A and B are shown apart, each in its own frame.
Chain A
Amino acid sequence: MKELIKKVVETYGPAGSEAQIRELIRSEIAPYVDEMRVDALGNLIALKRGGGKKLMLAAHMDEIGIIVTHIDKNGFLRFFPVGGLSPLTLIGNRVMFENGTLGVVGAEKLEAQKDLSLNKLFIDIGAASKTEAEVKVGIGDVACMSREFVDLGTRLVAKAMDDRIACAILIEALKAVREPTYDIYAVFTTQEEVGLRGARVAAYDITPDLGIAIDVTRTGDTPESITMDVSLGKGPTVKIRDSSLLCTPSVRKFMEEVAQQNSIMYQLEVLEAGGTDAGAIQLTKGGIPAGVMSIPCRYIHTASEMVDYSDVQNGVKLLVGIMETEFKG
Chain B
Amino acid sequence: MLLKRLSEAFGPSGCEGEVRNILMEELAPHVKEWRRDALGNLIAVKGSAGGLRVMLAAHMDECGLMISSIDRSGLLRFRKVGGIDDRVLVSKHVIVGSKKISGVIGAKAVHLQKPDERNQIIPLSGLYIDIGAKSKEDAEKLIKIGDYVVFATEYKALSDTVVVGKSFDDRAGCAVLVEVLKDEYALDIYGAFTVQEEIGLRGAGVAAYAIEPDLAIVLEGTTCSDIPPSKEYGYCTTLGQGPAITIMDASVICDRRMIAELVRIAKDHDIPLQFKRSVTGGSDAGKINQTKAGVPVVVISVPCRYIHSPISMLNLTDFHNTIKLVKLFLKSIAEGGFVL
Contacts and interface: CB of A to CB of B under 8 A. Distances in A.
Interface of A: 15-17, 39-41, 43, 67, 69-70, 72, 78, 80, 82, 119, 139-140, 191, 194, 197-198, 200-202, 204-205
Contact of A139 (B234, B277, B291, B296): B277
Contacts of B291: 201
B256 A40 contact: no
A41 B232 CA distance: 33
11 contacts: A16-B248, A39-B294, A40-B293, A40-B296, A70-B232, A70-B234, A72-B233, A78-B233, A139-B247, A201-B293, A201-B294
B253 A69 contact: no
A69 B278 contact: yes
Interface string B229-240: 000111100000
Contacts of B156: none
- Specify the main secondary structure of chain B where it touches its partner: loop
Sorting the interface of chain B by its residue count into under 10, 10 to 19, 20 to 34 or 35 or more gives: 20 to 34
A69 B294 contact: no
Contacts of B332: none
A41 B248 CA distance: 14
A318 to B, nearest CB: 29
Interface centre among A40, A67, A204 (most CB of B within 10 A): A40
A131 B279 CA distance: 24
B293 A204 contact: yes
B290 A201 contact: yes
B235 A70 contact: yes
A43 B292 CA distance: 14
A198 to B, nearest CB: 8
Contacts of B295: 40
A80 B253 contact: no
Contact of A80 (B232, B279, B290, B294): B279
A80 B233 CA distance: 11
B283 interface: no
A80 B278 contact: yes
Nearest to A119: B234
Contact of A82 (B233, B248, B294): B248
Contacts of B277: 69-70, 139
Interface in B200-251: 232-235, 247-248
B289 interface: yes
Contacts of A201: 290-294
A76 B220 CA distance: 30
Interface centre among B233, B278, B291, B292 (most CB of A within 10 A): B233
Nearest to A81: B279
Interface centre among A67, A140, A198, A202 (most CB of B within 10 A): A140
A72 B235 CA distance: 12
B275 interface: yes
Nearest to A140: B247
A39 B234 contact: no
B232 A39 contact: no
A67 B296 contact: no
